[in-house]
Amino acid sequence: MNPLGTGDPLRLGPYRLIGVLGVGGMGKVYLGRDDTGRPAAVKVLRPELAYDGHLVQRFVREAHAAESVRSKGVARVLGAQMEGGRPWIATEFLAGPTLDHAVESYGAFGNAATRALGAVLARTLRDVHAAGLVHRDLKPSNIVLTSGGPRLIDFGIARPEHGLTLTTTGQAPVTPGFGPPEQVVGRRVGPAADIFALGAVLTYAATGERAFSGDHVAAVQYEVVHGEPRLDALPPDLRALVAPCLAKDAAWRPTPDQVIKALAPPRNADSAWTSGALADDIAERERNASRLSALQGDGEPTQGSGLSGITGISRRKLIVGLSTGAVLAAGGGVVWWLSTGDGTGGSAPWEADLLADYEEGTPPPALWGPIRTGAHEASVPLPVRDLVLVTATNGDVRAYDVRDGERRWSADGAEPSAGTAAPAAHSETAFTADASGGLLALKTEDGSRQWTAAADVRTVLAADGGAVYVTTNDNRLRAVSVTSHEPLWTVSPPVRSTAERAVRAVTADGILVVYGSDGKVAGVAAGTGKTVWGPEEQGSGFLTPAVSDDTVYLGGRRLRALALADGKERWARPAAGAGWGSPALAGELLFAGDGAELKACKAVDGGVDWTLTLMNEGRVREAPAPQGNTAWVVLGERGTEGVATVDVRSGKKAWPPLRSGPGRWRSAVAGNRAFLLSGGELTAMPVF
């Protein structure tokens, strides 16, 4: 959670605002408290959108939809103001993991717990339908697990049962794999649509796998309409209950009452979220949220110091406990997921405590290290859950425990090229090249080989749920399916890629953004390999893009924000020095080197928040690594000048740059740790 900033309101209706929980496309969400100390999530429509009739109508619909449902299974609307320049909605504050995070962190639910979950959700859907609504977006990320049981959130696209039109042109009408066939093809949907989604949710809860999957969105939607659900991993008795929910014909699906009766969970089946590690997780988050709002003091907060009123306990620890995993329901249930950036999406048992304070000018002791890893000069530390991966000079991928630096496993790989030696990872799988140029998929838990594919790989670029993107030995761009393990497409890249300097790439929302050594950037359709925008001249090649939501940020001659879907420029800021380096995003700020300076720019418009000179000359090329209130910045054109540590609150150096002799520095952050790699040695440093 971030403190209130310039332009943020101090109070909305009866709610004193404490801090900023998140920012989305339609609005900003604040943590607030009323005069009794009760916390609330307060969503405010963006001022620039308050004049858009369609968006205001949708904002109003969110409030009315959630308000009309009388059920303890949804987040309650506490208040709303629809008139004036700042429309807002306040809802019950929910601090707990979503179902998808719970499954990822603690494993799939057992038979009894899945039945209990299904019964609660079916009762909630019965209440939603009784209010004359269809939720239309039931999925694991819209189910919050609280101490009082599962809660259904996000009524942003809920509509009356008789409503037909769901979205405006260009908006996705359904979450792939959870919406029913009739919703996929754009036909009228009724309550049975939510039952189909319930069946898909229960399959995921019980197995950890989706009922419908594919290499890309279109393939998943095709399976929903024409294919059969994958239910083999379900216990036979549960499969018999779930299968009817996933019927193609809505008329054949059961009603919520029939689902409730069929599930019939045994006594104490809700122990999955009332006892054990998951329950402890929920309880800790709820305690932190309650204490944070209760200990604000009686004075009004001021902008820029929204969390300064806490005394008697560690404010910093409370913020960490809240922000590393709180699911926040606001504006009829719109969810903001506040992640620590380690890929887990929440507070995990391997996370470190934030450094409570530091002595300015004096670096704190390392958490562990330096340890000898034999890492290649081009290797970049890759945190994946409780491990950090590096690539050795002989091509081995080596995994070290983030808590103590102990080596957990090593797996054979191909000798790295001159360009990059970093593997890519998605979920719990790491991808690298094997000695024969094949694509190798490793289970991150133990390094075991999951599969290999003949792909003529030179460099692994990126991975998502459908494919792994690589460059080949003849410098082409290729996508390899993570399900069939076959190449999906191979194309000549729209930007230059060489054996020594392969493209750098990121993937998000079906777009692979590639930045070439010729300083050009382009967007490639992840499903087909077709260039959908660009190439555009950006200058200063071999930089890595950054992506957040629907925007891609680029360094070069100008620091630019482009629409991810079509490459349209949203803003640009010329370089004052030798050129912008690779950017990194943290909350509402974008950090990037501008020549020898580090600048913090507002992600929304590129306005400079602060500037810090890091070197007398040279250039900061690599992306800073921000975490907490700290940013770790590798210095020099080739990263050989050490690592500066910056307090992002003040824009000042926390202590002198870390240097340990010649060698190229690389950095990564996750789980409140900074991982620094130089000369083959890996060190974990604390974050404040």
Contacts of 84 (CB under 8 A, 6+ apart): none
DSSP string for 139-191:
-GGGEEEETTEEEE---TT-EETT------TTS--S-TTTS-HHHHTT----H
Asked if 441 and 428 count as a contact pair (C-beta separation under 8 A), the reply is: no
Q: How far apart are CA 420 and CA 501, in angstroms?
A: 8
Sign of torsion, CA 77 82 84 86? positive
Helix (H) or strand (E) holding 196: helix 191-207
Element (H, E) at 30: strand 27-33
Residues in the chain: 688
46-74 in b/e form (b: 16+ CB < 10 A) is: beebbeeeebbebbbbbbbbbbbbebebb
**Strand positions, DSSP E, 101-148:** 133-134, 143-146
CA distance 365 to 357: 13
**CB contact set of 592 (below 8 Å; sequence gap of 6+):** 555, 559, 580, 581, 582, 583, 584, 598, 599, 601, 620, 623, 624
Residue 213's φ and ψ, nearest 5 degrees, are -145, 165
Among left, alpha and beta (phi > 0; psi -120 to 50; other), residue 447 is left
The 3-state DSSP class for residue 112 equals helix
Is 139 flagged in the annotation as binding?
no
Q: Environment class of residue 289 by beta-carbon count within 10 Å: exposed (0-12), middle (13-18) or buried (19+)?
A: buried
What are 303's strand-pairing partners? none
User: How many CB atoms are closer than 10 A to CB 670?
Assistant: 29
| Strand partners of residue 589 | 586, 602
Amino acid, res. 632: W
Distance CA 556, CA 417 (A): 24
Contact 676, 367 (CB under 8 A): no
Structure token digits, residue 511: 């777009």
Give dist(CA 23, CA 28) in Å, integer. 4
Taking CA atoms, 628 is separated from 3, 32, 299, 326, 481, in Å, by 12, 21, 26, 15, 35
Question: Rounded to the nearest 5 degrees, what angle is found at the Cα of 46, between the Cα atoms of 77 and 555?
Answer: 130
Residue 474 CB coordination number (10 Å): 10
3-state secondary structure of 477: strand
Could you tell me if 64 and 159 are in contact, meaning their C-beta atoms sit under 8 angstroms apart? no
Residues that constitute the known binding site: 43
Residues that constitute the known binding site for ATP: 43
